[in-house]
Amino acid sequence: MSIQALAPAKINLFLHVGAVDAENYHPLSSLVVFADVGDLIAVERADRLSLTVVGPFGAGLAVEPDNLILRALRRLGQVTGGGEPPLKVTLDKRLPIAAGLGGGSSDAGVALKLARQVLGLDLSDEALEVVAGVIGADGPMCLHARTAWAEGRGEVLTDEPRLPPLPVVLFNPGVPSPTGAVYRAYDAGAVQDANRPVRPLDWSAETVIDWLAGLRNDLQPPAIALTPEIGDALAAVATTPGIALARMSGSGATIFGLCLTQEDADAAAATLADAHPNAWVQSSILAAK
């Protein structure tokens, strides 16, 4: 019997990035939140481990033999001593690829939780978090999929339940933004500090959006320099009626536009979709949980 769950899109509401350290990692500070849209993961018992990719963005992953889902599940098998877990995994890829939405990490995190359930593993959340670390710094945060401050290399997480639900428009112009290239361009330019900002005076949506407006995504300028379409997308979202704040998420290329009401977000998404028929546009809600 197959069980399934949503692997939600991850949004960096801000992203402050410091200089690369001696081990070639960047310290960062970010407030991470998850949307109510994402990929769909289904897992069931099988004779062997396999992954099938379908969905509107599935073709972009069809040639990748060892994506993050398989890497995470193989690590799970090593930790539990059972070899490769005998599971059939189906990924309905609904999020754009190389989009700054943490899609691969979120997919892997959900696959781990579903695998634990299907296989009846006696494995705590803390133990599963260690397994998720094999896919990188985004692994633990995407495993839990809770609103959190992310610091260190992204692995130091502090839950932030006070963030209010934030209506949002997600806009991807249909171009990839490879993370490695963006970080290299960032390192070649003016490097900022991974400073954690003072928290907002209150957690109303309007105050939070005003607070975020004074913060940064340090990867946004190098991403735009490498891929000018991201700058065009940012301008398109920022000038759409109803958008209170527009910013790039992660290393791009997705732009998020925060709104004060869901009606504003839905109307802005419709306007953007009409004006940019080749773009990926979704209205959503960013919610603490």
Place of tokens 């310290």: 27
CA-wise closest residue to 41 among 101, 100, 97, 87: 87
Place of tokens 């692994």: 139
Cα dihedral 142, 144, 149, 153 sign: negative
DSSP state of 85: -
Residue of 107, 138, 218, 264 marked active site = 138
Catalytic residue flag (residue 138):
yes
Query: Which stretches does DSSP call E strand in the chain?
Result: 3-17, 28-45, 50-54, 87-92, 148-151, 156-159, 166-172, 245-248, 255-258, 280-286
Is omega for the bond preceding 253 within 30 degrees of 0, making it cis? yes
Instruction: For residue 195, count other CB atoms closer than 10 A to its CB.
Output: 12
State the SS3 of 127-195. HHHHHHHHHCCHHHHHHHCCCEEEECCCCEEEECCCCCCEEEEEEECCCCCCHHHHHHHHHCCCCCCCC
Catalytic residue flag (residue 210):
no
Catalytic residue list: 10, 138
